[in-house]
Amino acid sequence: MAEAVKTLLHDIGGLISLPEVVLKINEMVNSDDAGSAEIAQVISQDPAISTRILRVANSAMYGGARQVETIHTAVTLLGTKQIRDLVLSTTAAHIFDGISNDVISVEDFWHHSLYVGLLARELAHLSKKVNAETMFTAGLLHDIGHLVMFNQVPEQAQAAILRTIQGEASVDLYEAEREILGYDHAEVGASLAREWHLPEVLVHCIGYHHELQAEQDFKEAVAHIHIANVIASLPYSDIPAAEDLARIDEQAWELAGLTPDGIGEAIQKACSQITETQQAIFEQES
């Protein structure tokens, strides 16, 4: 980890640590020592997390065909690893609540991130090459490094954004960040994910979603996030224009087992789920 990134995370670390219940669930799933009943019991100890899990489990994201009334039922239906990923994603989305940010709209940030997560999930259902719930979590968290930078180095983060708008040549944001800061949001996000002891597949999806060629260990998973992120950055369309899709690394399609003309339904499904899923995850508990 670059020293500057390490300092950045140290300075904000006390404000964005994962709750103990989330760390415990992650540990239980990784160790394979606990069954669904034990994991459900730990989740149930946190009313806020439990409420969000039940809202998402009953949302359009999971079809809404069956009413899920208890955490134990949710764990049984989704499986322990899937429920761990859902706990991670729905909790991480709230960790930055109250953290100051004067650079961008936090609502727009999470809307984009949610679209990436939902689209990556639908692409995974289509390709059947990677776990769909893991892709949702990776997509939702792929840009969390931005939130750290917007809080800790807002002036430089703003300058990087302006560089992409005002520069004479087309420059991607992560490239502008490297020019100005010496590191980018993907590196910050991946380092934060490692600090949180998240699964390595999530660390790599966060860290390499802009640079698929640099990824070695989880190429198929990163390819799904790369494709979803590019599409989510475009105006809504069932099938984006060919010139827009040209921004996607050509290797990503082969790695993901997808084609540009075969993803229209996945895009439609993801778009149809955004509003309800956003309410399920971000609605404040009374």
Nearest to 44 by CA among 84, 72, 80, 79: 72
Q: Are residues 85 and 134 in the same domain?
A: no
pLDDT at 94: 85
Q: Are residues 248 and 174 in the same domain?
A: yes
Q: Are residues 56 and 151 in the same domain?
A: no
Q: Are residues 104 and 71 in the same domain?
A: no
Query: Among 38, 60, 95, where does a domain finish?
Result: 95
Q: Are residues 231 and 155 in the same domain?
A: yes
Residue 9 lies in a domain: no
Residue 55 lies in a domain: yes
As a whole number of angstroms, the distance between CA 102 and CA 81 comes to 36
As a whole number of angstroms, the distance between CA 254 and CA 128 comes to 13
pLDDT digits (tens, 9 = 90+) for 63-105: 766 788 999 999 998 888 889 988 988 888 888 877 767 777 8
Residue 169 lies in a domain: yes
Q: Are residues 29 and 121 in the same domain?
A: no
Nearest to 104 by CA among 116, 94, 113: 113
Residue 3 lies in a domain: no
**Between the CA atoms of 72, 75, 78 and 84, what dihedral angle is there, to the nearest 10 degrees?**
160
Tell me the three-class secondary structure of the chain, residue by residue: CCHHHHHHHHHHHHHCCCCHHHHHHHHHHHHCCCCHHHHHHHHHCCHHHHHHHHHHHCCHHHCCCCCCCCHHHHHHHHCHHHHHHHHHHHHHHHHCCCCCCCCCCHHHHHHHHHHHHHHHHHHHHHHCCCCHHHHHHHHHHCCHHHHHHHHHCHHHHHHHHHHHHHCCCCCCHHHHHHHHHCCCHHHHHHHHHHHCCCCHHHHHHHHHCCCHHHCCCCHHHHHHHHHHHHHHCCCCCCCCCHHHHCCCCHHHHHHHCCCHHHCHHHHHHHHHHHHHHHHHHHCCCC
Q: Are residues 130 and 254 in the same domain?
A: yes
Nearest to 232 by CA among 244, 217, 250, 243: 244
Mean pLDDT computed over 11-36 = 84
As a whole number of angstroms, the distance between CA 249 and CA 219 comes to 12
pLDDT at 254: 95
Mean pLDDT computed over 262-269 = 92
**Cα 64 → chain centroid:** 22
Q: Are residues 132 and 79 in the same domain?
A: no
Residue 236 lies in a domain: yes
* pLDDT of 6 higher than 70: yes
Residue 1 lies in a domain: no
Structure tokens at 113: 């991130």
pLDDT at 201: 95
As a whole number of angstroms, the distance between CA 144 and CA 125 comes to 24
As a whole number of angstroms, the distance between CA 190 and CA 1 comes to 10
Q: Are residues 226 and 171 in the same domain?
A: yes
Q: Domain range for residue 116?
A: 100-282
As a whole number of angstroms, the distance between CA 48 and CA 40 comes to 14
Query: Among 42, 76, 95, where does a domain finish?
Result: 95
Q: Are residues 184 and 149 in the same domain?
A: yes
Q: Are residues 22 and 116 in the same domain?
A: no
CA angle 265, 268, 274 (to 5 degrees): 140
Residue 10 lies in a domain: no
pLDDT digits (tens, 9 = 90+) for 150-183: 989 989 999 999 888 876 567 889 999 999 999 9
Residue 5 lies in a domain: no
Mean pLDDT computed over 247-270 = 92
Query: Among 77, 95, 113, where does a domain finish?
Result: 95
Please give the mean pLDDT across all residues of the chain. 89
Contact 224, 135 (CB under 8 A): yes
Assign residue 152 the CATH number of its domain.
Answer: 1.10.3210.10
Q: Are residues 125 and 21 in the same domain?
A: no
Each residue of 110-122: b (16+ CB within 10 Å) or e?
Answer: bbbbbbbbbbbbb
User: Number of structural domains, the chain?
Assistant: 2
First-to-final CA distance of the chain: 40
Q: What is the pTM of this model?
A: 0.91
Contact 151, 101 (CB under 8 A): yes
